[in-house]
Amino acid sequence: EVQLVESGGGLIQPGGSLRLSCAASVFTVSSNYMSWVRQAPGKGLEWVSLIYPGGSTYYADSVKGRFTISRDNSKNTLYLQMNSLRAEDTAVYYCARVLPRPSDHFDYWGQGTLVTVSS
């Protein structure tokens, strides 16, 4: 059974940094399109970042220049490095696998990890 397990969330002060991890099982992270999606408390889903198998990366305007998506092939793990965190980054962060056909959709999701940015 496909599993995505996020970790690394927690309470962090504004301006701080945090790295989220997403460990995958059954499939290979590096061979798939992978993404991060977040959900602020009581709000809807917001796409954050996506990485292609070839390594191309994409970011929402709200996080561009502050967040970096990456992966470790040896650990079959996806990461999200978050710098210069703001209160508005407070959310549950989900990692998800993306299937590109018929067009990009998120077929498997992790359980999420909560990031709280507050002093």
Least distance (Å) between residue 74 CB and other proteins: 26
Task: Name which position in 7, 52, 58, 118 contacts other proteins (CB under 8 A).
Answer: 58
Cα–Cα distance for residue pair 57/50, rounded to 1 Å: 6
Please say which residue, 17 or 40, places its beta carbon nearer to other proteins.
Answer: 40
First CA to last CA distance, the chain: 40
Cα 33 to Cα 39, 49, 63, 71: the distances in Å are 20, 11, 19, 11
Task: Name which position in 44, 54, 55, 65 contacts other proteins (CB under 8 A).
Answer: 44
Interface positions with other proteins (CB under 8 A): 35, 37, 44-47, 50, 58, 60-61, 94, 99, 102-112
